[in-house]
Structure formats: structure tokens, C-alpha cells
Copies of this chain bind each other. A is one copy, B any other.
Amino acid sequence: MFTINENFLRLNENYLFTTVAEKIKQFSSEHPDANIIRLGIGDVTLPLPPAVIKALHKAVDEMAVKETFRGYGPERGYDFLLEKIAENDYRAHGIDISTDEIFVSDGAKSDTGNIVDILGENNMVGITDPVYPVYLDSNIMRIKERSITNSKIVFLPCHPENNFLPEIPKKRVDVIYLCYPNNPTGTVMKRDELKRWVIYALENKSLILFDAAYEAYVTEDDVPHSIFEIEGAKSCAIEFRSYSKNAGFTGLRCSYTVVPKELKTKASNGTYVSLNQLWLRRQSTKFNGTAYIIQRAAEAVYSPEGKEEVKGLVNYYLENAKTIREGLQEKGWTVYGGVNSPYIWLKCPDTNDSWQFFDRLLNERHIVGTPGVGFGPSGEGYFRLTAFNSHEKTREAIERIKKWEI
């Protein structure tokens, strides 16, 4: 009889957002007239910027004509996009990244999930708690069965006492996932803090997997947009970027990953292996590129109009973040994030049970958020609200909360 990867049996069957969706469905069927405001899932709501729409139409027209039709694309992505990325996201900020260090793909979820394919199974993996579930689940799926005691995963708790910044672990970690601005807490890692981690990684020959999906929301000067702003990071880090939360590509699917050529590690045969080569081999075997029309859409994000329009989208959501943050502070609640992030992380005011707070907020205020414990045990007693709804709905949600006798 053929066998399955039994690591899957150790995963939770209910994905966080599936449970949330089921609870909303149940509530809606019992209260069909309730005007529910959704501040739960991290999905954008504003339409694609006009520059992107224009680029899409143009590229679609090219696909209609034999002379300009494009089939399979280059393995790393089209040069027109790679060059825009290298220039605008890196060189313009004084970071030297070349086009053959960039890999365009269909989403940061795919890349952060698939990166385990190229890593050894015996690495000690550091994961912050709370955390975006993909890092943890993709490791559980991959780690050898005999070591699933979780002894290969070190959780790094993040809480108000450490400003939601993981402490350097006593037990050595080989691979560390860092996501800043952070999902779910909305907090940031300032340049000096990130530098400590880069130094740690260089000293310990560890690998940092840096998820910068929310970098567009950075508003403060001492918060890095890229880990490669830190000296030495090119020898110890991979960076994931996305067009989902800046240009609204959640339904269009485009992202990229930077694997610097300096990033190498020693194989058991004593040779040094380039992770750039490994990722190229992984991607060229198990992925066939992002659609041409969508790479043209991503290119348009870097046009003068595209840049302005994306700034408009980000500012729109940042204003919501401010509305939530300041509104809840006025209410006297303890809140974090929301300054360099579309996420607000709050201490549940009446309970240490995130799901209980979820139920009360839904039942009594008809507002949907995400229970902190869904992101890990250190999230218990906390709650995530997102800034992706409209100004109107966001303000109304805050008014409802302000009038809430809790």
C-alpha cells in the first residue's frame, strides 16, 4: 500500500481563517439583518491602480497577436521586471542587488512555504510566536517524522515586555523566520535590532528568512524596508517581497524573492553551495513562471503613475490603521502596531481568551477580527484588527466599539 507524508496528520485540520469563516456564516444565518463589518482577514479591498489596469489591457492585447504572443517565460522572470525591481526596490536605496539574484513568483505564500524544499531537515528552526502560520506548517510538513517532537522548532515568544521582538535564543538556531513589519502584531524591528540578528546569523552561520511583505507601510525612518540595508545581510539572508499589500495584487498573484549570490553554506562533502543556484533549480523544476500579463502589471507598479497610485492605496489603509489605533486608545484599550503596518494588535480588554473576545465582538458589535491565539500560544489574550476595510466602515466599527459597554 502506498504511503502518505504522515507529517500532515500532525497539522491542525482547521486553518484559522476557515474557522473564522464558519463562525461568521453561522452568525449571519442566525442574524440575517446584521450589518457585519469585517476587520479580520488581511485582504485588500480597493481596486487595482489605473496604471496596472492599463498595463494589463496592453499585455492582453499582445497575447492576442502571433507576433507579440508570449509562451513560457524566462525561469527567474522577465528582464523588464527584474530590472525595475533591482533599480527601484534596491539600488535607489543604496543596495546592490543584481537581476540574477531576484526570482519572480506567484506569491510570497508560495515562496515562504516552498523555501523549506532547499533546506536540510536537521536545521534547528526559530519561529516567532505569534506567527504567520505558513512558516510553522511548512516546516511541520517537511521535518523528518522521528523528530516531530517539535524539538527542531524553537519558538521565540513576542509580547509587550520585549516590544514584540524575539530575544536571541539561548539554544542555537540555524534558520530564523523574521517578518517585519510584523504579521500579526503590526510591530516593527528597528534598524539596530535587525542588525543584532544579522550579526547573530553571521556569527552562528545561520540563515535569516526575512518576510518583507509589508515594507510599503513603513513610515518611520529608523525602520528598515529591506534586510539588505544591513551590512553583511547578503551573506546570511533571503528576502521575500510581495505586490499584494502595496499594489493590491492579492487576487492577481505576483511576488519576488531575493537570494543573494553571496549566500552559501557548506555541504557535508566540504564544498560551498550557493542557495541562489539551489532555488533556481527548485523553481525551474517545480514552477513555470508567473503569467506574462501579470509581470507587465507588476512592472507598471514602478511607473511614475503607478508609484503615485500605490502610495495612495497605502496611505488610504494607513489612515484606517490610525483611526483604529487612536479610537481604541481613546477607549482606553492597549494597542500595538498600526503605525508602520496595516495591522493593529490589541490586548483583549475583558478576557485572556481570544476566541471569547472574537465571539463577543461579533455577537455584540457585529465586527469580525482575528483571535490572537490563532497565530500561536503567545497570541492568547490578544486580537488582530486590519486596516483593509473602507474609511466609512472602519470609522463605524470604531464608533460601535466606543459605545460598547464592555
Q: Which A residues are within 8 Å of any B CB, using their own CB?
A: 1-6, 8-9, 11, 13, 15, 41, 43-48, 50, 53, 56-57, 60-61, 63-66, 69-73, 106-107, 109-110, 113-114, 117-123, 133-134, 137-138, 141, 144, 174-175, 205-207, 248, 250-253, 265-269, 273, 275, 277-278, 281-282, 284-294
Contacts and interface: CB of A to CB of B under 8 A. Distances in A.
Copies in the complex: 2
Contacts of A120: 2-6
B251 A71 contact: yes
A300 to B, nearest CB: 12
B110 A267 contact: no
A252 B1 CA distance: 38
Contacts of A72: 41, 43, 250-251
A253 B286 CA distance: 13
Given A47-B66, A252-B293, A3 B119 contact: yes
Contacts of A133: 285
Contacts of A69: 45-48, 248, 251
A118 B266 contact: no
Contacts of A277: 13
A285 B45 contact: no
A282 B45 contact: no
A278 B45 contact: no
Nearest to A252: B291
A131 B315 CA distance: 52
B293 A8 contact: no
Contacts of A266: 1
Nearest to A236: B2
Contacts of A286: 109-110, 113-114, 134, 138
Contacts of A175: 2
Given A60-B53, A66-B46, A174 B3 contact: yes
B265 A2 contact: yes
25 contacts: A1-B266, A2-B174, A2-B265, A3-B119, A4-B120, A4-B267, A4-B275, A6-B268, A11-B281, A43-B71, A46-B69, A48-B69, A50-B64, A53-B61, A56-B56, A63-B251, A69-B251, A71-B250, A107-B288, A113-B286, A138-B286, A141-B282, A251-B291, A251-B292, A252-B292
Q: Which of A63, A65, A119 has the most CB of B within 10 A?
A: A63
Nearest to A285: B137
A282 to B, nearest CB: 7
A1 B265 contact: yes
Contacts of A267: 3-4, 6, 9
Contacts of A43: 71-72
Nearest to A41: B72
Q: Which of A61, A138, A285, A289 has the most CB of B within 10 A?
A: A285
Q: Which of A266, A273, A278, A293 has the most CB of B within 10 A?
A: A293
B60 A56 contact: yes
